[in-house]
Amino acid sequence: MSVPTVDEYREEARTFLETHAPRKGEERQVWGQGSDRIGLLDEKTDEEEQREIAEGKAWRARAFDAGFGWITGPSEYGGRGLTPAHDRAYREVESGFRVPSQSPFGIGLGMVAPTILAHATEEVKHRYLRSLWRADIVACQLFSEPVAGSDLAGIQTRAERDGDEWRLSGQKVWTSGAHYSDIGEIITRTSPDKPKHKGLTMFVVDMRAPGVEVRPLRQMTGGTSFNEVFLDGVRVHDSHRLGDVDEGWTVALTTLMNERASIGGGGVGSASSGTSRLFELARRMGVAEDPIVRQRLAEVYVHSTVARYNNLRAMAKIRAGQLPGPEMSIGKLSLTQNMARTAQVVADILGPRIAADTGEWGTFAWGEFVLGVPGIRIAGGTDEVMRNIVGERVLGLPKEPSAAR
């Protein structure tokens, strides 16, 4: 198959999308019309979630089969083998069309698949990469534990060798999408006698295997976006190991940097996301001319705009084929700080309306946003961990003393 030029590929994409998806119309929210939900976490009913997954899978399969699935992926594993410029061309064209949500596949494609590509055996690469990108299967990430969240190296889930297999036992927590995932990327402790950053090994685990139990977690927003996962003697073949035995920390860093790229580079950190709604709220509440409120709204907009430009720079680096670096920690920290600023301004503007539903459109709905911010400040590494990474790896400051030493 001949390699199309970027312009030829863009035209292929336009023809495909015009055939299979409707164009987006002008999307402008009018105060008092439609849903006023402005939550951060993806919270749906079981029926809504299953419908979203089914529609998303059907779209990914159709796009993949037409050559618009894994555009930059190696052809031997199911990718199209084209350049980041081809990928950008498709994304630009697709942005003008209304396609099914792809959020159920974000973790699998943004975090798990890159780790499999970088560290898995050939057998695992051939078995899972094409299926992940075509959405025949869905993947989740099994990292955090009840006593090891931000201190990821303190995990206790064990993996014990048993011939050509490993037996995994332990508990994971805050696992998004575990209940509908087919496989999971899991970090375990294989040598408990070694220092905590040593003796870790990562695997790909079958989420339907005997001994795997997934339980939903109810969060303070009212939804169940996350799960806890229990593993009781789950058997994993050694071919499904990611990287060398006891060298899992190096493998985990690949996932973590891609995770921060996914979270920190997301649309929620952009200046246009939510700020127009926030400005309208200030007008509707009669405080838009208050000098203190105006100053704080300006701070939200300025910091969000700076974060967006930083994210664009970082994502350009990734699209150019470079690995995500500590700048993604800056992006993730900027995102959560901007969300915290927004939540505080909203709470101050609304006062009691943030806690008591008066029935007024566009007011109490902000409560879900405010309650969701603490979770985002934990996901993908806490603000404190991000500051340490920026201080040590970006600014070159001395490492913080560790009690574990």
Strands 158-162 and 165-172, how do they pair?
A: antiparallel
CA-closest candidate to residue 65, choices 134, 5, 7: 134
Q: How far is CA 190 from the centre of its chain?
A: 27
Alpha carbons 340 and 348: distance in angstroms, whole number = 12
Identify the helix (H) or strand (E) that includes residue 374.
helix 366-378
At residue 330, the 3 state secondary structure works out as helix
Amino acid at 239: S
226-237 vs 165-172, strand pairing mode? antiparallel
Q: DSSP for 176-193, please give it.
A: TTGGG-SEEEEEEES-TT
Give every residue of the chain whose pLDDT is below 50, as ranges: 264-273, 405
What is the distance between the terminal CA atoms of the chain, rounded to a whole angstrom?
Answer: 56
The predicted pLDDT at position 270 comes to 37
CA distance 135 to 275: 33
For the chain, the farthest-separated pair of C-alpha atoms sits apart, in whole angstroms, at 71
Residue with tokens 């006023």: 36
Closest among 61, 87, 59, 63 to 73, alpha carbons compared: 87
Instruction: Give the SS3 label for residue 216.
Output: strand
Concatenating the DSSP letter of every residue in 193-211 gives: TS-TTSSEEEEEEETTSTT
How far apart CA 204 and CA 214 sit, in angstroms, is 16
Give residue limits of the domains in the chain.
6-101, 139-249, 265-394
**Domain 265-394 of CATH type 1.20.140.10:** yes
**Chain segment 213-235, per-residue pLDDT in tens:** 999 998 888 888 789 999 999 99
Give CATH for domain 139-249: 2.40.110.10
Nearest CA to 269 among 228, 306, 221?
306
Long-range contact set of residues 344-350: C-beta below 8 Å, sequence gap at least 24: 345/278, 345/293, 345/296, 345/297, 345/300, 346/278, 346/281, 346/370, 348/293, 348/296, 349/281, 349/282, 349/285, 349/287, 349/293, 350/281, 350/285
Residues pairing with 142 in the sheet = 186
pLDDT score at 402: 66
Task: With H, G, I as helix, E, B as strand and everything else as coil, classify residue 173.
Answer: coil
Single-letter residue type at 60: R
Nearest to 119 by CA among 29, 9, 34, 241: 241
pLDDT reported for residue 260? 53
Whether the predicted model's global pTM rises above the 0.85 cut: no
Nearest CA to 20 among 48, 52, 58? 58
What is the helix (H) or strand (E) element at residue 214, kind and residue range?
strand 212-217
